[in-house]
Amino acid sequence: MNKKVAFYTLGCKLNFSETSTIARSFEKEDFERVDFSERADVYVINTCSVTENADKRFKTIVKQAQKANPEAFVAAVGCYAQLKPEELAAVDGVDLVLGATEKFKITDYLNDLTKNDKGEVHSCEIEEADFYVGSYAIGDRTRAFLKVQDGCDYKCTYCTIPLARGISRSDTLENVLRNAKEIASKDIKEIVLTGVNIGDYGKGEFGNKRHEHTFLDLVKALDTVEGIHRLRISSIEPNLLKNETIDFVSQSNSFVPHFHVPLQSGSDEILKKMRRRYLTNLYLDRVKRIKKAMPHACIGVDVIVGFPGETDEHFLQTYHFLNELDISYLHVFTYSERDNTVAADMGDVVPMNVRNKRSKMLRGLSVKKRRAFYESQLGSVRTVLFEGENKMGYIHGFTENYVKVKAPWNPGLVNTLHQVELTSIDEDGLVRFEFVPENIMA
């Protein structure tokens, strides 16, 4: 009988793409992949360390694996495994901890799957993480996350990602295109480009800082791949989102009018303390440029509340800046102190109850922004890609500009594209629609 392996992924889309690549390496070793809730011989947990919460969840997930099979071999990989390997190795039930360079070679470390008294650690100095491993993940059959870049050369004062993932480096254009064609051959309709700092694409293509290609080159090349209906840029720094890229996307065959652009603060003073590479005037300019080229574009924003030194005045600057911006939704993060970051040693710590209050205010603003964006789209004709899950009798889907729609469950719609007219907003905030006759698209 084949041995069984199960995976649990914490964190970002990039982690999901890497879990899929690691899973394929197990398949080559004749492992059968099962759900994490099932009994398996090996459990692999791909960790994240962006928030404090992800650290805490790790122990709970290990217990879940042990409950399913007390004799199973438990391995931890990913960002938290790189940053605090000894801490993870000390968690009861963990047998193996692999850092940034070792995680893709996990099957080499499994040997006889005997449980260890204490987790065995194989982690490198992060300076050694200077090579690139390409990855892609297939979510629910309708979309895939394609990794194009890894690591980051930025030194934001709150962030551990450069410590966990190393320097900025990129996949070769040839390999990205090969992966995209492979995904297209599986009848997947949408690809989401992912990485740590994808606007930096091209850097490290040759294992050094020499560039042959840029992010714009990547976008143009992917736009020519046949069989991909939609390409989506996951998240791109405002200083790296160039006019040429915005203009190309506005005319593109496959790239959709949806941008996710991290802001982090609407106060220039706080942006400087964070060591971000732009100020609010540049951010405002990027939003205006997108909206001028694509008035119906969806723009998502990351923002951090409660950074050290953020006064009520700084927070209100952020709130008013976002309130007046023509954006569509927010991802709100409550600042949490991370070891070995500059911000962790800063004074003027914001009390946790104040951080939580500010977070709640911005989440409320996000609901308002999303509602206003959805209302602006009513009456328009859009193309919906339907998802594969039956959620309480409904099927959901997303338009090209990221409006979430719902309809009574119909399995025939799964992984198909249809033109629809957006008609109304339901009480749960999702959009209802009517099909545009005879415009079924595949």
Q: Which of 107, 125, 143 is the last residue of a domain?
A: 125
Encode pLDDT of 79-102 as tens digits: 888 888 888 988 989 999 998 878
pLDDT for the residue numbered 15: 86
Are 337 and 406 members of one domain? no
pLDDT band at 386 (very low <50, low <70, confident <90, very high): very high
- Dist. CA 211–CA 208, nearest whole Å: 8
Q: How far is CA 380 from CA 61, 149, 258, 416, in A?
A: 44, 35, 16, 19
Are 11 and 118 members of one domain? yes
Provide CB contacts within 8 A for 81, sequence distance 6+: 47, 88, 97, 98, 99, 103, 123
Q: Is residue 441 part of a domain?
A: no
pLDDT band at 107 (very low <50, low <70, confident <90, very high): confident
Are 342 and 278 members of one domain? yes
Are 138 and 243 members of one domain? yes
Tell me the percentage of the chain whose pLDDT exceeds 70.
90
CB 155 within 8 A of CB 275: yes
CB 385 within 8 A of CB 398: yes
pLDDT for the residue numbered 346: 96
Q: Which of 75, 99, 125 is the last residue of a domain?
A: 125
Neighbours of 305 (CB within 10 A): 26
Is pLDDT at 234 greater than 60 in this prediction? yes
By CB atoms closer than 10 A (0-12, 13-18, 19+), residue 284 is: middle
Write the secondary structure of 14-53 as one string of H (helix), E (strand) and C (coil). HHHHHHHHHHHHHHHCCCEECCCCCCCCEEEEEECCCCHH
In DSSP terms, which residues pair with 207 in a beta bridge?
none
Calculate mean pLDDT across residues 16-42: 92
Calculate mean pLDDT across residues 53-75: 88
Query: Which residue range is the domain that position 273 belongs to?
Result: 260-371
CB 139 within 8 A of CB 115: no
Tokens representing residue 442 in the block: 């595949």
Q: Which CATH number do you get for residue 210?
A: 3.30.750.210
- State the angle between helix axes of 215-222 and 173-184 in degrees (0 to 180), rounded to the nearest 10: 30
- Dist. CA 84–CA 208, nearest whole Å: 27
Q: What angle do CA 208, 130, 165 make, to 5 degrees?
A: 125
pLDDT for the residue numbered 99: 84
Is pLDDT at 439 greater than 80 in this prediction? no
CB 303 within 8 A of CB 264: yes
Tell me the percentage of the chain whose pLDDT exceeds 90.
71
Q: Is residue 72 part of a domain?
A: yes
pLDDT band at 115 (very low <50, low <70, confident <90, very high): low
pLDDT for the residue numbered 121: 84
Q: Is residue 143 part of a domain?
A: yes
Q: Which CATH number do you get for residue 17?
A: 3.40.50.12160
Q: Is residue 338 part of a domain?
A: yes
Are 306 and 404 members of one domain? no
Tokens representing residue 213 in the block: 């290609």
Q: Which CATH number do you get for residue 418?
A: 2.40.50.140
Q: Is residue 316 part of a domain?
A: yes
Encode pLDDT of 419-433 as tens digits: 999 999 999 999 999
pLDDT for the residue numbered 117: 65
Is pLDDT at 252 greater than 90 in this prediction? yes
- State the angle between helix axes of 312-324 and 352-377 in degrees (0 to 180), rounded to the nearest 10: 10
Place of tokens 């971000």: 276
Tokens representing residue 251 in the block: 């005319």
- Dist. CA 75–CA 96, nearest whole Å: 5
Encode pLDDT of 300-315 as tens digits: 999 999 999 999 999 9
Provide CB contacts within 8 A for 338, sequence distance 6+: 49, 158, 159, 160, 344
Encode pLDDT of 275-299 as tens digits: 999 999 999 999 999 999 999 999 9
- Dist. CA 196–CA 219, nearest whole Å: 17
Q: Which of 222, 256, 290 is the last residue of a domain?
A: 256
Is pLDDT at 263 greater than 80 in this prediction? yes
| 48 against 295, higher pLDDT | 295
| 325 against 49, higher pLDDT | 325
Q: Is residue 134 part of a domain?
A: yes
Name which of 126, 213, 200, 124 is nearest 168 in CA terms.
Answer: 200
pLDDT for the residue numbered 335: 95
Are 277 and 336 members of one domain? yes
pLDDT for the residue numbered 49: 76
| 51 against 269, higher pLDDT | 269
Are 321 and 403 members of one domain? no
Q: Which CATH number do you get for residue 271?
A: 3.30.750.200
pLDDT for the residue numbered 389: 87
Are 23 and 117 members of one domain? yes
Q: Is residue 317 part of a domain?
A: yes
Are 134 and 113 members of one domain? no
Place of tokens 């394929």: 24
Tokens representing residue 236 in the block: 């791109």
Place of tokens 């900025």: 168
- Dist. CA 232–CA 41, nearest whole Å: 36
Domain count, the chain: 4
pLDDT for the residue numbered 216: 97
Encode pLDDT of 145-166 as tens digits: 999 999 999 999 999 888 888 8
pLDDT band at 105 (very low <50, low <70, confident <90, very high): confident
Secondary structure letter of residue 231 according to DSSP: E
Are 251 and 137 members of one domain? yes
Q: Is residue 285 part of a domain?
A: yes
Q: Of the given ranges (253-257, 333-337, 437-441), which has the lowest mean pLDDT?
A: 437-441
Are 183 and 105 members of one domain? no
Is pLDDT at 143 greater than 80 in this prediction? yes
Tell me the residue ranges of DSSP E strands in 104-226: 120-122, 135-138, 143-147, 149-150, 169-170, 190-194
Are 19 and 69 members of one domain? yes
Secondary structure letter of residue 255 according to DSSP: B
CA 2 to chain centre: 32
